[in-house]
Amino acid sequence: MSKLNLLIVDDEPGIRSGVERVLRNFSVGYPFMNEDFTFQIIEAETGERAIEIIESQPIDIVLLDNKLPGMDGIEVLEYIKTKEYDISVMMITSYASLDLAVKATNNGAFNFVPKPFTPQELKTSVENITKNLYLRRMTRQMKEDSKQVRFQFLSVLSHELKSPLNAIEGYLRIMKEKQVGEEVDDYMEMINRSMERIKGMRTLIFDLLDLTRIESGKKTRDLRNIDLHDVVKDVIATVEPLAIQRNIEIMLDCEANLYLNADKNEMEIILNNFVSNAVKYNKEDGKVYITILKKDGQVVMSVEDTGIGIKKEDQALLFQDFVRIKNEKTKLVTGSGLGLSIAKKIVGLYNGTIDMESEPDKGSKFTITLPLSK
């Protein structure tokens, strides 16, 4: 239950107290509104007084008589409009001349109640104006929220793009000033790191494209019966070179002809992310176990590693855009920090879930569950 401040501006005390009486125990509620609204009635006998009140406390709705002793209602309305107050105004008038109606609507009056009005007429008008006010405020809030999300995304993105540039520029300056030696070989480590950072930027750009395609719904999805066994074989083949370098063994448990109605490219993105993470964040001579099976009308895919694991407090952050956990063990690994958030978004498209178990220094296990569609 929340209270709206309703200001009644009328020089006739009888009208003011009448409005007070009718609205005192009145409440407005709609199925689409989260809450019911009641009204706190505030009275003003002149336009001047009304403005004083509006200046000094938050007002949501004004019921405004046009014919007032000093400044008239239209002037109060103009004032509210020029000051851009978030207030809905309803004019009360005994002679609703066309002229006044046009002028008032141009200045943003919500509607009119003719004087004299019955309690029911007043209630209906207040109900409408409340609904309108609620919707207007909700829409604005939603716009602001989405602007905020976009802004945050862009500011994190620009940070992610600047970091590798700063690193590479830093290395190049050192080389230009020949800070650590005369031979190219003295700089080999820096050159390799620069190349690694360029590779990271490239991954970021590709991941970003994937992400925007998924989020905009532009990516054409090609849903058909695909054999997950084939997909996972391909994924393993892509990751294998990195695994061999670090002497990591990838073990697969998946029967042939395991069909799922899905987009092949999306399944590749998901599996590739989990399997490549299981290799990237593993230890030398480690193992990766991939299991895919059908169970209770679902496909369950799990990727388990014997790697560095993830601390409890970091686990909650992982699926957010750009989050990467930085510590001694991960410092040389490059990535965009988008992989898991992309995987999560895709899994969401299938109404699936991702579960995670992880223990620092022991390893991690990610389990993806996708419902089989009919």
Partner 1 sequence: MEKKKKILIVDDDVDVITVLGSILTKAGYDVISALNKQEGLEKLRAEHPNLAILDVVMTTHYEGFELAQEMLNNPEFADIPFFIQSSIDILVTSKASVQEMAHEFRKDPNFKDLQVLMIKNVEDNTAGIDYKADDGKTYFFPVRDFIRKPVDAKKILPEIEKHIR
Q: Are 37 and 27 in contact (CB under 8 A)?
A: yes
Contacts of 182 (CB under 8 A, 6+ apart): none
Q: Is 278 in the site for ligand ATP (CB under 6 A)?
A: yes
Bridge partners of 163, per DSSP, are none
As measured in angstroms, the least distance from the Cβ of 329 to ligand ATP is: 9
Residue numbers 304-343 binding partner 1 by CB under 8 A: 314, 317, 323-328, 331-332
Q: Is 209 in the site for partner 1 (CB under 8 A)?
A: no
x/- binding map, residues 202-221, to ligand ATP, per CB under 6 A? -x---x--------------
- Of the candidates 346, 136, 163, the one whose C-alpha atom is nearest the C-alpha of residue 262 is 346
As measured in angstroms, the least distance from the Cβ of 85 to partner 1 is: 18
C-alpha–C-alpha distance, residues 62 and 43, integer Å: 10
Question: Residue 159 touches which of ligand ATP, partner 1, none (CB < 5 to 8 A by kind)?
Answer: partner 1
- Of the candidates 158, 151, 167, 147, the one whose C-alpha atom is nearest the C-alpha of residue 322 is 158
Q: Is 193 in the site for partner 1 (CB under 8 A)?
A: yes
**Amino acid making up residue 136:** R
Question: Residue 69 touches which of ligand ATP, partner 1, none (CB < 5 to 8 A by kind)?
Answer: none
Binder to ligand ATP among 277, 302, 306, 369 (CB under 6 A)? Answer: 277
Q: Is 339 in the site for ligand ATP (CB under 6 A)?
A: yes
Tokens for 150, please give them: 């976009």
C-alpha–C-alpha distance, residues 244 and 240, integer Å: 6
Q: Is 148 helix (H, G, I), strand (E, B) or coil?
A: helix
C-alpha–C-alpha distance, residues 309 and 286, integer Å: 12
Which residue, 312 or 326, is less far from partner 1 as judged by CB? Answer: 326
Contacts of 70 (CB under 8 A, 6+ apart): 46, 47, 48
| Closest residue to ligand ATP using C-beta atoms | 335
Which residue, 242 or 317, is less far from partner 1 as judged by CB? Answer: 317
Question: Residue 193 touches which of partner 1, ligand ATP, none (CB < 5 to 8 A by kind)?
Answer: partner 1
Q: How is residue 186 annotated by DSSP? A: G
Could you give the residue ranges of the DSSP H alpha helices within the chain?
13-24, 47-56, 73-82, 98-106, 119-176, 188-216, 228-245, 264-280, 312-315, 339-349
Question: Residue 180 touches which of partner 1, ligand ATP, none (CB < 5 to 8 A by kind)?
Answer: partner 1
Q: Is 184 in the site for partner 1 (CB under 8 A)?
A: no
Burial zone of 153 (CB within 10 Å; 0-12 exposed, 13-18 middle, 19+ buried) = middle
Question: Residue 236 touches which of ligand ATP, partner 1, none (CB < 5 to 8 A by kind)?
Answer: none
C-alpha–C-alpha distance, residues 90 and 241, integer Å: 72
Q: Is 325 in the site for ligand ATP (CB under 6 A)?
A: yes
* Residues in binding contact with ligand ATP, number by CB under 6 A: 23
Q: Are 226 and 262 in contact (CB under 8 A)?
A: yes
Q: Is 198 in the site for partner 1 (CB under 8 A)?
A: no
* Residues in binding contact with partner 1, number by CB under 8 A: 30
Residues contributing to the site for ligand ATP (CB under 6 A): 203, 207, 273, 277-278, 281, 305, 307-310, 318, 323-325, 330, 335-340, 364
Residues contributing to the site for partner 1 (CB under 8 A): 155-156, 159, 162-163, 165-171, 173-174, 177, 179-180, 190, 193, 197, 314, 317, 323-328, 331-332
